[in-house]
Amino acid sequence: ESYAIIWDAKIRADSYSMGTDDRTIREYIYTQSRDLKRKKHLRNIYYSIISSKYSTDFDDSIRSIKMETDVSEVILVEVEAIVEMVDAKLRSPLDITLGSDGFQQLFTASGLLTAENVRELLI
C-alpha cells in the first residue's frame, strides 16, 4: 500500500469554510504532490484538512479540488477524529495498521471524518 497524505491544519474562531482559500489549497497540493511523485511511486495521494469544526458547504469545493489536482480524496478531519485514531493505535498497536485494513480506509472517501467514523471503522 503506497499512499501519502498531504495535510493542512486550519484554525478558525468558528468553523472552517471550504472555498475561502481554494486557490491556495490547489497550489499547495500541486507542489506537494509533484515532490511526492518525483521521490516515490504512490498509488494514492489523499488531501486532509484538520480543524475543530467545519461548515456544511464543502461538496462543491471537494469535487473541484479532486478534478483539478492529483489527489484521490479530500478528507475534512475533525480534531476529535485524530484523537480517536491515536487512541485506537495505542490500544491495539499490532491490530491497527497503516494499510488498507487500517488507517488507510479512513481516507478512501471524501468528506467529513468524525471521531464516530473512526470508531466505526477501527474499533
Q: What is the pLDDT of residues 78-99, one digit of tens each?
A: 999 999 999 999 999 999 999 9
Number of domains in the chain: 1
When pLDDT is averaged across residues 41-62 and rounded to a whole number, the result is 92
Other CB atoms within 10 Å distance of the CB of residue 118: 23
Which of 60, 64, 58, 103 is CA-nearest to residue 76?
Answer: 58
For residues 79 and 35, is the Cβ–Cβ distance under 8 A?
no
The predicted structure's pLDDT at residue 20: 78
For the four alpha carbons of 100, 105, 106 and 107, in that order, the dihedral sign comes to: positive
When pLDDT is averaged across residues 2-22 and rounded to a whole number, the result is 90
Kindly give the residue spans of alpha helices, DSSP state H, lying in 40-114: 59-68, 79-91
- Indicate the SS3 state at residue 100: coil
The predicted structure's pLDDT at residue 21: 86
pLDDT at 18 over 90: no
The predicted structure's pLDDT at residue 94: 95
Span 54-77, pLDDT tens digits: 988 899 999 999 999 999 999 999
pLDDT at 52 over 70: yes
Rounded to whole angstroms, the Cα distance separating 122 from 119 reads: 5
| 111 pLDDT tier (thresholds 50, 70, 90) | very high
The predicted structure's pLDDT at residue 45: 96
The residues, ordered by sequence, that sit 6+ positions from 73 with a Cβ below 8 Å of its Cβ are 44, 46, 47, 66, 107, 108, 109, 110
pLDDT at 108 over 90: yes
Look up the domain containing 110 and give its range: 3-122
For residues 79 and 52, is the Cβ–Cβ distance under 8 A?
yes
The predicted structure's pLDDT at residue 57: 85
